[in-house]
A = this chain, B = another copy of it.
Amino acid sequence: MKIAFLGPHASFTQLATAQLFPNDELLPQSSILDCFSAVENGDVAKAVVPLENSIEGTVSMTLDYLYKTPSIKIEAEAVMPIAHHLMIHPDNSIEDIEKIYSHPQALAQSFHFLDTHYKDIPKQDFSSTAAAAKYVSENKDIKIAAVANQYAANLYGLKIINRNIQDFEQNHTRFIIISKLQNKYENEDLQTLGEKSGMLITLPEDHPGGLHQVLSVFAWRKMNLSKIESRTLKTGLGNYFFFINVEGSWNDILHGNALKELESINADVDFLGNYKEFLLES
């Protein structure tokens, strides 16, 4: 099966995709839009894109494209702790390193470690952590190191000198698997964190209390929201849609009736699926 993901090769999204689809053909895309287009056109069966906290893509794009392409639904969510490692060409030694390359945000996220241990070594911005790792692998004659992930170290045969150099332990990225298949992704090899439903809700008109009315539908049924995010519609200022996650497995009576009640108050609901949340390794 062909699976698109937000590239480049050895990006954090590929690290996630390789765990979700270990036996499939993974095709890197240069943007979140390209991932959605590949799914919509049928070039691939599924795609993996970041939903929250990525350093590789503006993830608000993911919500916007979910809204713009109603045929595309969510099969699963996956959460991965962010881990940065310092790596060099295996023929070089860390004492010789004269420069450290990485994505500006990866350097920023590793600032305290780098400032403590490699204060006098200049840092250089690169377009991605993966591109920095590739550059190190191809240029063993210049003495450089990269800050990148485990997948990049493996792919480009680099030696990891320091592991987990990120400043905050609990930083993580969330990804979703998207497709047109209305499928529920399953994987017994991964730890399941829970189950949830995703939906996009547009209100008929922008009036005070509109969102409150929508949330009443879930509140009196004691359905717990785990995420809510508003996004501007491009049609004009002041018009919004909402991305909402409701906790729990699908329940015909509970979910079915909630969706009917949302319809009855003229909310436009794009139900994206009831799906599992998995924990990935960094």
- With A103-B127, A127-B104 known as contacts, the answer to whether A226 contacts B240 (CB < 8 A) is yes
Q: How far is the CA of A107 from the CA of B128 in the complex (A)?
A: 14
A residues in contact (CB < 8 Å) with B: 8, 30-34, 52-55, 57-60, 103-105, 107-109, 111, 125-128, 131, 168, 170, 193, 206-209, 211-213, 215-216, 218-230, 234, 237-238, 240, 242
| Residue ID in chain B nearest A103 by CB atoms | B127
Chain B residues in 8 Å Cβ range of A128: 104, 125
Q: How far is the CA of A37 from the CA of B30 in the complex (A)?
A: 33
- With A34-B108, A105-B57, A193-B237 known as contacts, the answer to whether A219 contacts B224 (CB < 8 A) is no
Q: How far is the CA of A131 from the CA of B125 in the complex (A)?
A: 9
Chain B residues in 8 Å Cβ range of A227: 230, 240
Chain B residues in 8 Å Cβ range of A225: 208, 211, 230
B224 and A206 contacting across the interface, CB-CB below 8 Å = yes
A sample of 6 inter-chain contacts (CB < 8 A) reads: A31-B105, A31-B111, A57-B105, A59-B60, A208-B224, A227-B230
B226 and A229 contacting across the interface, CB-CB below 8 Å = no
| Residue ID in chain B nearest A108 by CB atoms | B31
A125 vs chain B, min Cβ distance (A): 4
| Residue ID in chain B nearest A167 by CB atoms | B33
Q: How far is the CA of A168 from the CA of B209 in the complex (A)?
A: 31
Closest CB pairs A-B (n = 8): A31-B108, A125-B127, A209-B219, A212-B219, A208-B222, A212-B215, A208-B224, A170-B234
A212 and B207 contacting across the interface, CB-CB below 8 Å = no
Chain B residues in 8 Å Cβ range of A55: 58
